[in-house]
Amino acid sequence: MIKYLFISLFCLQAIVARADVYVILYATVDGYTGHSAIAIEAYDIAISDSMHEGEKVFYEDTISNGKVHYFDLWTTQKSFRFPYLNKDYDALYHAYPALGKSFSIQELFYKGLPDGMIARRFDGLIKIKSSKWQDFQLISKLQEKVAENKAYNLFSYNCSDFVIDALEIMDQRKIRAREFFIYRLSNTPNKLFRKLSKMEGSKVILDPKKKAKGNFIVHRILKKPQN
């Protein structure tokens, strides 16, 4: 029932051109590392014409094409040794569409993240209202950040920090989604989702429920992944 509701919601949205930003959550739960990502609705330019006082007038409009601009941050580091947790590592940024690859939210949900970084379905999805102008600005700024290639830091610049940076660019609101992580406060995917779900202008499209309620220490450090 949930699956069909999820599909119906997005079929309905495809009919009406809107400006929306999506935050994707892979929950930190039962030993699995969480992840945050951001997607911005993609548009095509439509040109129409009509007659006005005997002259042809042309109009431009933006129409959602069903795809999204997808961005996220990872690191090339496969594991973290305790004495070296708080250091910078090589970053791995994703920015799509690229090289002919483009995705819809539905494709990301059913097929997993690009390049197989996470094969399972994501757990949560939040839609945040924006304007088309904000979308265009945000895409441009995120492309600049990807090109900048800022280093990944588990505590100070992880996947959730990257998404927070993007949202703060969009509407200038300060977002804090910190929880105690090893030996300091850091932004985490679960806390970010909970924070955004209560933010004005946000709507939970896919609710992770209990999956997003756990803290990082318990669900990533103390628990082992279930097979």
Question: Are the beta carbons of 33 and 160 closer than 8 angstroms?
Answer: no
Res. 39: pLDDT tops 80: yes
Strand segments (E) across 76-200: 88-89, 91-96, 124-129, 152-153, 178-181, 184-187
Task: Please confirm whether the linkage preceding 189 is cis (ω < 30° from 0).
Answer: no
Q: What is the spatial distance between Cα 75 and Cα 81, in angstroms, rounded to a whole number?
A: 14
Query: Mind listing the pLDDT tens digit for each residue in 156-212?
Result: 999 999 999 999 988 778 898 888 877 778 899 999 999 999 998 899 999 999 887
**And the tokens for 13?**
């949205």
pLDDT at 8: 42
pLDDT at 58: 56
- pTM as predicted: 0.80
Query: Mind listing the pLDDT tens digit for each residue in 76-133?
Result: 877 666 666 778 999 999 999 988 888 899 988 888 877 777 778 899 999 998 888 8
